[in-house]
Amino acid sequence: MKKRFEGLKVYGGFYDSVPDATNVLMDIEMLKFGGLNFTAIHTPGHTVGHVSYFLDGASLGAPDCLFSGDHLFLGGCGRMFESPPLKMLKSLDAIGRLKKDTLVWPGHEYAMNNLEFACHLEPDNEKAREKYEWVKTRRERRLKTCPSTIEEELQYNPYLRLNKQSILRAVGAISSDETEALGSPSDEVRAQALSELRTQKDGFKYIQ
């Protein structure tokens, strides 16, 4: 495309050394394309320099949008190729603090597998079950499942629910007889749970 369109700009995250990038982006750097206002958000975890892009919907009279690439998927997250679990955890926490109606547009269609695994972890999570059934119907018709919202993801995405007793028990981070009286889990416990969660997901045997 650069050969075909003279002067074409290619944007990429600073830390990932994107080949042929003409404009490298730092965390919270702003981009403007016509009436579209984007913010580059450094979300390390999948790679050291992974960048997600946040579109401000206010000027458009629309919800904000998060283009999360390989960081956050509907019901899941990317593998941790280049960063430790604690770094991925911090990135996921930051995404989880966005406005609840923010639309989530991931880079891949992995929703059905992700939701099947989420239901396996939390069999009593009705929101996960409802979303999984909806996703199955959509995929049977070869339709997309995106976008979801941050609010939805907080209800069923296990990688955004690492403060929940049900998830911590499912991955063995706490014992089955420990109660909510334990209070909020530490970041170290949650990072350990994230690592185990990713390991279990990678070895999970799917029904579909």
Which pLDDT does position 178 carry in this prediction? Answer: 59
> Cα 160 from chain centroid?
8
Encode pLDDT of 33-86 as tens digits: 888 999 999 999 999 999 999 999 998 899 999 999 999 999 999 999 998 999
User: Do 118 and 167 form a contact (C-beta atoms < 8 A)?
Assistant: no
Encode pLDDT of 189-206 as tens digits: 999 999 999 999 999 988
Residue 152 lies in a domain: yes
- Domains: count for the chain: 1
Which pLDDT does position 179 carry in this prediction? Answer: 56
Residue 175 lies in a domain: yes
User: Do 190 and 163 form a contact (C-beta atoms < 8 A)?
Assistant: yes
Residue 32 lies in a domain: no
- Across the range 178-194, mean pLDDT stands at 81
* Farthest-apart Cα atoms in the chain, separation: 64
Which domain covers residue 58, as residue numbers?
Answer: 52-202
Residue 47 lies in a domain: no
Q: What is the CATH number of the domain that holds 158?
A: 3.60.15.10
Q: Residue 36 is encoded by which pair of tokens?
A: 């579209």
Residue 5 lies in a domain: no
Encode pLDDT of 88-99 as tens digits: 999 999 999 999
Collapsing DSSP to helix, strand or coil, 160 comes out as helix
pLDDT of residue 182 exceeding 80: no
Residue 37 lies in a domain: no
Residue 42 lies in a domain: no
pLDDT of residue 138 exceeding 90: yes
- Across the range 105-119, mean pLDDT stands at 97
